Amino acid sequence: MLLKYFYDPALAQASYLVGCQKTGEAIVIDPGRDVEPYLEAAAAEGLRIVGAAETHIHADFVSGSRELADRVGATLYLSDEGPADWKYQFADRYSSRLLKNGDYFYAGKVRLGVLHTPGHTPESISFVLTDEGGGANEPMGIFTGDFVFVGSIGRPDLLETAAGVTGSAVLGAKQLYHSMRRFRELPEHLQVWPAHGAGSACGKGLGAIPSSTVGYEKRFNPALQVQDEQKFVDYILADQPETPFYFAVMKRVNKFGPELLRNLPVPAVLSPNELAHIAAEHLVIDTSAAADFAQAHVPRTINIPAASLVQWAGFLVNYDQPTFLLSEASDVRGILRSLRSIGIDQVGGYFDITAAGRAGLRTESYPSATPRELRTKIEQGAVTLLDVRSAVEFQEGHIAGARHRFLGRLPRDLSQVDRAKPVVVQCQGGGRSAIATSVLQRAGYEVTNMQGGYRAWTEAGLPTVAG
């Protein structure tokens, strides 16, 4: 048997290639949209990918299952659990098998048994692996998807927080409690292979270790220590990360089947002469480094550095309208891959940032200042201080007088930001506040970015408040 681990750090997303070397067959578990790494790895091992399996309808990235079905004729193994609203709507277009609790399927002589583990979503299933080709008659491990993570457990509130289904968070938490109890009954030696690691918004407090065991999680996973159902519900619904708005879009995309990559148009390079007009009408994202953008940028563009695109574009982009890019031409391919991984397919074109500079279009800048330089104005109320960190970070400690406006909601909350005074934006270290500064400047605010953010403020010994 071959088990190969793939990890996309931008999405904090894990997927797996399970292969049987005796038969040369392989299946990919929870594939991402870019399937080239799986195809290359399979070819290198002398395997052919014959299947793609999903633990649930993903909300945080575009699945690659349909892509594999189209590219190599992979059979789809998809959940048939949960109510009608949680059924895959594209499975009948391909060779597919819809799975219920207790079912099983094979990659060669590697057996994958289906365990219904609802809570994160109603249709969530886990796959229990037994290497029958290696002579085993007991399972080795379990692919838990977004059910159990290393050191955490999947959040049950996304249907409510992303799609607005009132009451579904509590119901999901109760289902998750019973799934958790079922997990605790599994053999302790089973390895646990989750679909996410640290940094994912699909749970709180995820560990950065790729895998674990049932026994270890039973002993040290905080969520698995709570035995009372109501206490578990209270625990799992408290202090979850902010839900990215695009999660609702991803659920719909993955339910009905994402567009195939070969059908997406290749964004054209646009003339610098068009840039000012398009920036006035549409969202243009400058993907350069924050320090470079602060020094000189094209008016009415916003700045999301390329390394942060996957984390923040889903919050800030309108999926129903075209988005344009301002970047180095050599970076466009990688940027498109990042955007398409979260379903941002409407890229209307891109501008070469070097050409824009030569054309003299980068005429705007914004100021930055240290905490000590800003302290007097903040304490005298001469400026509005916006803290754009998460709610949990803000509650743990903040600058007196700061108003909390989470970065991901900022474009929707602009009407609540006073235009009568200059604005100072602050996060933990300066990165998120740089993005927020560009959003506010585009909207016409007089704005300054705090260098080093809250960390620099506390390191300077300046006063803070908690709660």
| Mean per-residue pLDDT, 293-316 | 96
Do 60 and 202 fall into the same domain? yes
Domain assignment of residue 363, yes or no:
no
Angstrom distance (rounded) from CA 30 to CA 55: 7
Do 142 and 179 fall into the same domain? yes
**Number of neighbouring beta carbons within 10 Å of residue 421:** 15
By DSSP bridging, strand 152-153 and strand 191-194 are unpaired
Domain assignment of residue 400, yes or no:
yes
The number of domains in the chain is 3
Domain end among 326, 358, 390: 358
Query: Residue 77: beta bridge partners?
Result: 53, 97
| DSSP state letter for 274 | G
Q: Alpha helices of 164-260 — where are they, by DSSP H?
A: 168-184, 214-220, 229-237, 246-256
Do 399 and 442 fall into the same domain? yes
Model confidence at 161, pLDDT cuts 50, 70, 90, reads: confident
Domain end among 358, 393, 425: 358
Domain assignment of residue 143, yes or no:
yes
Q: What is the CATH number of the domain that holds 345?
A: 3.40.250.10
Do 414 and 287 fall into the same domain? no
Angstrom distance (rounded) from CA 13 to CA 145: 10
Domain end among 256, 291, 307: 256
Angstrom distance (rounded) from CA 66 to CA 58: 13
**Residue pointed to by tokens 């098998």:** 97
Positions of E strands within 299-456: 302-303, 323-327, 347-352, 368-369, 384-387, 403-404, 423-426, 447-450
| pLDDT tens digits, 103-119 | 999 999 999 999 999 99
Contacts of 386 (CB under 8 A, 6+ apart): 402, 403, 404, 405, 417, 423, 424, 425, 426, 436
Residue 176 above 90 pLDDT?
yes
Domain assignment of residue 36, yes or no:
yes
Tell me which residue range forms the domain holding 91: 2-256
Q: What are phi and psi of 181, to 5 degrees?
A: -65, -35
Model confidence at 330, pLDDT cuts 50, 70, 90, reads: very high
Q: What is the CATH number of the domain that holds 203?
A: 3.60.15.10
Residues of the chain above pLDDT 70, percent: 100
Residue 467 above 80 pLDDT?
no
**Number of neighbouring beta carbons within 10 Å of residue 400:** 11
| Mean per-residue pLDDT, 5-28 | 96
Query: Residue 128: beta bridge partners?
Result: 113, 142
Angstrom distance (rounded) from CA 82 to CA 76: 18
**Residue pointed to by tokens 């200042």:** 369
Identity of the amino acid at 199? G
Model confidence at 159, pLDDT cuts 50, 70, 90, reads: confident
Written as one string, the DSSP assignment of 425-437 is: EE-SSSHHHHHHH
Angstrom distance (rounded) from CA 85 to CA 319: 22
For the stretch 232-236, contacts whose Cβ atoms lie closer than 8 Å and that sit 24 or more positions apart, written own/partner, are 232/173, 232/176, 232/177, 232/180, 233/170, 233/173, 233/174, 233/177, 236/153, 236/155, 236/156, 236/173, 236/176, 236/177
Q: What six digits make up the tokens of 105?
A: 């399927």
Q: Per residue in 144-168, is it b (16+ CB within 10 Å) or e — as a string?
A: bbbbbbbbbbbbbbbbbbbeeeeeb
Domain assignment of residue 175, yes or no:
yes
Model confidence at 71, pLDDT cuts 50, 70, 90, reads: very high
Query: Residue 29: beta bridge partners?
Result: 16, 53
Model confidence at 204, pLDDT cuts 50, 70, 90, reads: confident
Do 38 and 130 fall into the same domain? yes
**Number of neighbouring beta carbons within 10 Å of residue 173:** 21
Do 33 and 71 fall into the same domain? yes
Do 39 and 83 fall into the same domain? yes
Residue 162 above 90 pLDDT?
no
Domain assignment of residue 102, yes or no:
yes
Do 10 and 78 fall into the same domain? yes
Instruction: Report the Cα–Cα distance between both ends of the chain, in Å, rounded.
Output: 52
pTM of the model: 0.93
Determine the pLDDT at residue 172: 95
Q: What six digits make up the tokens of 187?
A: 């053999």
Do 35 and 147 fall into the same domain? yes
**Residue pointed to by tokens 């470079």:** 292
The CA-atom distances, in angstroms, between 281 and each of 98, 130, 300 are 45, 56, 9
Nearest to 55 by CA among 106, 99, 3, 11: 99
Do 210 and 269 fall into the same domain? no
Residue 383 above 80 pLDDT?
yes
Angstrom distance (rounded) from CA 65 to CA 53: 7
Do 390 and 347 fall into the same domain? no
Do 421 and 393 fall into the same domain? yes
Domain assignment of residue 177, yes or no:
yes
Domain assignment of residue 401, yes or no:
yes
